[in-house]
Chain A
Amino acid sequence: MKHLLSTEDLSLSDAIRILDTAEEMSAVGEREVKKLPALRGRTVVNLFFEDSTRTRISFEAAAKRLSADVINFAAKGSSVSKGESLKDTAQTLSAMGADAVVIRHWASGAPYRLAATDWIDAAVINAGDGTHEHPTQALLDAFTMRRHWARLSGTGSEGTDLKSMRVAIAGDVLHSRVARSNVWLLRTLGAEVTLVAPPTLLPVGVDKWPCSVSYNLDETLLNGVDAVMMLRVQGERMNASFFPSTREYSRRWGFDDNRLRALDDLGMTDTIIMHPGPMNRGLEISAAAADSPRSTVLAQVRNGVSVRMAALYLLLSGDTRETAIHRAPAFAAAQSSKESN
């Protein structure tokens, strides 16, 4: 693996390797000193063309726990907003010696451009591109599900997959990079995915995806489900005729209190409720559901750091990248005085 761009082309063995490495990283997070020297002297750039404080600080925490130097480059308010191109930005970062670029971009495919061109020779991690993919989100979701699934079967998580776990993903699939990345990764890990959405918020061509599609959340719950993932409804969809009103959306496709009770009534005691955040409480998820013991929302955030540590570690310290060997000692010495800051 040189880059982490999508889950569509992520093999089962790479996926398991990332998840297993994330388990090891998670153990570091439990220690008093939450820091490993693995990426000393390596530079990780968080290149954000779109605001996302949550994802950015998650990657920042991950890189810092691995002792990497972190540069945060928010494209808004920088030279990019003055018309500097992605190419020039990439070449600038390259000249500064970036070893990895974590890129969040509003345009689908922007991380592919960084990886495919000769603008920069750094590991590229897709931190969400347009309505395409958000692979580390799907990996942290899978990590969360895998722990749950393994605990139910009384085993450890390491090396396991999600075979026959029933996962419902509900909401705006059309515009969701989280849904896309989850569909591919969950397929690879053996889970059975059902997408639940109004027909207007499903892409033309969804029938070719490796999952089922339903327009009815209640029916999907009734059929049995082990995890329900609610997707955020973006504000700009609300006035574009994708659905008549937020109240109708909430009634038909929101995870409300009635549906929370339905899980209890149906005896699905082990079904978890997931949300990638930030949540619209009262729209796609009720406050009671978000705060219930079934909710994994905060565990997802916690696991996000572990998964991102694993991704950075595997991309930057793997012996396939010779820069990892040659650059590390010199930079480590030069940087040691700054590390205490």
Chain B
Amino acid sequence: MAANTGTYLIQGAAILGGDPADLLIRDGIIAEIGTGLSAEGQDGHATVIDAAGLVALPGMVDVHTHLREPGREDAETVETGTRAAALGGYTAVHAMANSTPVADTAGVVEQVYTLGQAAGWVDVRPVGAVTVGLAGEQLAELGAMADSRARVRIFSDDGICVHDPVLMRRALEYVKAFDGVVAQHAQEPRLTAGAQMNEGDVSAVLGLTGWPAVAEESIIARDVLLAQHVGSRLHVCHVSTAGSVEIIRWAKERGIDVTAEVTPHHLLLTDDLVRSYDPVFKVNPPLRTDADVQALRAGLADGTIDVVGTDHAPHPSEHKECEWAQAAMGMTGLETALSVVQHAMIDTGLMTWADFARVTSTTAARIGRLTDQGRPIEAGEPANLILVDPAARWTVDPSRMATMGRNSPFKGRELPGKVVATFFRGHPTVLDGALNTPHPDAAATPAGAA
């Protein structure tokens, strides 16, 4: 356990939005919780943090991040992406496998894992590819990745759907051997050839090739039935349609072991924004209609959708400063997720901060089988937690973000909620809303070791 992370006394934080309490953080764990705790302990003076008016939450865990390294270091690196994560309130991220080379071997996932450790801002947990080269033809060495130092538990060809039903079945079955989960990017490829945006009233007017909801829903329907048939665990990435929510709700009622994720942008933005033809709004799956947004919010609130995943997808500016059809798909999200979810779910009365902790941390850590993340805020637990000012308001300015991506669809919007501090295994990676320092001995501490 880290010995040199210092001692911090957080005074008067509303734990999960409840009554104010003091938290004493020492040696990487929450040493004490109470009222009127003293900064003068037996091992010296604690740094005092006045948290009056702030909410204490478990450090957020992202099940869906694109860090771009190795291969596209012009878009993002593990260092810049995890700085963005820390600023956004995250203490762990799952790095998607679509790097170059693809994270489809033990070697590549260990490289990403090691880069994350060296950076020291958050736990970086690599996601392993399901198929070799994301090509959808042959299973990657899932077991080798699971057994590697990166201890991969989530496998995904994200960006591409594992559309071959036999291959999907085999993957679902195979990962049972090491308690893994297949995270599916649900997109029927033939129904979405050349697709540019949600298929509906807006695409009809704009003359952009449609991405129909049925292309997502048909894959989810097939996959939940496959998961039931072989008794496996399935995770559905970035659910975007009302119909998908209904299918997942139906599957859960039948006892199928499925979890689902929604992105912050799908909780707030609609395809009307595409009328500008500004590719900052181009994303996969595409922005949908207001009816879909409302269904996704309801699904997240009632537990049908388990987690918020950012699908943080930074791109160099030249991939967005072009024609819509030429532009890359994807939006940044790590540094706006908390604010967007507060705006869409908490300020609307649909969820409490305790619910927020469940969908951004507790359940996300469980899906990725992270043992020391998403823990209760209790004495003796690892000190992965954040302090949030829910009353703050700020205007999104992508040029000031830590991510290298400038492709935030929230540019210029005023949003509520600000991460004031992030504690990663007892060390403040973020203080006063700004980056502090990485964990001093992150590289020496195996992530995931409780």
Q: Which residue of A lies closest to B202 (CB)?
A: A205
A204 touches B204 (CB 8 A): yes
Interface stretch of the complex, out of B21-29, B118-126, B319-327: B319-327
Name the CB-closest residue of A to B199. A204
Q: When the two chains form their complex, are residues A130 and B325 in contact, meaning their CB atoms are under 8 A apart?
A: yes
Which residues in A have their C-beta under 8 angstroms from that of B212?
204
Which chain B residues numbered 198 to 225 have a C-beta less than 8 Å away from chain A?
199-210, 212
Q: Contacts A87-B322, A204-B212 given: A116-B203 contact, CB under 8 Å?
A: no
Q: Does B278 make an interface contact (CB < 8 A)?
A: yes
A108-120 interface mask toward B, CB cutoff 8 Å, 1 = contact, 0 = none?
1110110011000
Tally A-B pairs: CB < 8 A: 77
Provided the pairs A8-B205, A204-B210 are in contact, do residues A112 and B276 lie with their beta carbons within 8 angstroms?
A: yes
Q: A108-B325, A113-B323, A133-B207 are in contact. Are A204 and B277 (CB under 8 A)?
A: no
Point out the residues of chain A lying under 8 angstroms from B43, CB to CB: none
The minimal Cβ–Cβ distance linking A231 to chain B, given in whole angstroms, is: 14
User: Would you call B325 and A206 a contact (CB within 8 A)?
Assistant: no
Q: Residues of A contacting B201 with CB < 8 Å?
A: 205, 208
Interface residues of A in 79-125 (CB under 8 A from B): 85-87, 105-110, 112-113, 116-117
- Nearest-CB distance from B210 to chain A (Å)? 6
Interface residues on B, range: 20 to 34
- Bin the interface of chain A by size: 20 to 34
Q: Is the CB of A177 within 8 A of B207?
A: yes
Q: How far is the CA of A208 from the CA of B289 in the complex (A)?
A: 15
A203 on interface, CB distance cutoff 8 Å:
yes
Q: Does A209 contact B (CB under 8 A)?
A: yes
CA distance A208 to B205 in the complex (A): 10
| Chain A positions within 8 Å of B321 at CB level | 85, 87, 117
A131 to B324, CA, bound (A): 13
In angstroms, Cα B202 to Cα A105, docked, is 20
- Residue from the set B201, B207, B212, B276 with the largest chain A CB neighbour count within 10 Å: B207
A42 within 8 A of B: no
A206 touches B276 (CB 8 A): no
- A130 contacts which chain B residues (CB < 8 A)? 207-208, 325
Please tell me if B318 contacts chain A, counting CB pairs below 8 Å. yes
Given A85-B318, A205-B200, A180 and B325 contact (CB-CB distance below 8 Å): no
User: Is the CB–CB distance between A206 and B277 below 8 Å?
Assistant: no
For the complex, give the distance between the alpha carbons of A58 and B126 in Å.
Answer: 57
Q: Which residues from A are CB-within-8-Å of B199?
A: 204-205
Which has the most chain B C-beta neighbours within 10 Å: A105, A129, A177, A205? A205
Chain A residues lying within 8 Å of B202, measured Cβ to Cβ, are 205
Given the interface contacts A130-B325, A204-B210, does A109 sit within 8 Å of B277 by beta carbon?
Answer: yes
- A109–B206 contact, CB under 8 A? yes
Least CB separation from B200: chain A residue: A205
> Is A65 interfacial (CB-CB < 8 Å)?
no
Contact A209 B204 (CB under 8 A): yes
Quick one: CB contact mask for A151-184 with B, threshold 8 Å, 1 for yes?
A: 0000000000000000000000000010010000
CB A280 to nearest CB in B, in angstroms, measures 21
Q: Which residues of A contact B276 (CB under 8 A)?
A: 112, 116
Q: How far, in angstroms, from A133 to B278 measured CA to CA in the complex?
A: 17
Write 28 A-B pairs (CB below 8 A) sorted by A numbering. Answer: A86-B323, A86-B326, A105-B323, A107-B323, A108-B196, A108-B206, A108-B207, A108-B208, A108-B277, A108-B325, A110-B277, A110-B323, A110-B324, A113-B277, A113-B278, A116-B276, A116-B277, A129-B207, A130-B208, A132-B206, A133-B207, A180-B205, A203-B204, A204-B200, A205-B202, A205-B204, A206-B204, A208-B201
- Besides the known contacts A108-B208, A112-B277, A133-B207, 6 further A-B residue pairs in the complex with CB atoms under 8 A apart: A87-B321, A108-B196, A117-B321, A130-B208, A205-B202, A206-B204
- Interface, chain B (partner A; CB < 8 A): 196, 199-210, 212, 276-278, 318, 321-326
| Leading 5 A-B pairs by shortest Cβ distance | A109-B277, A205-B204, A132-B207, A131-B207, A203-B204
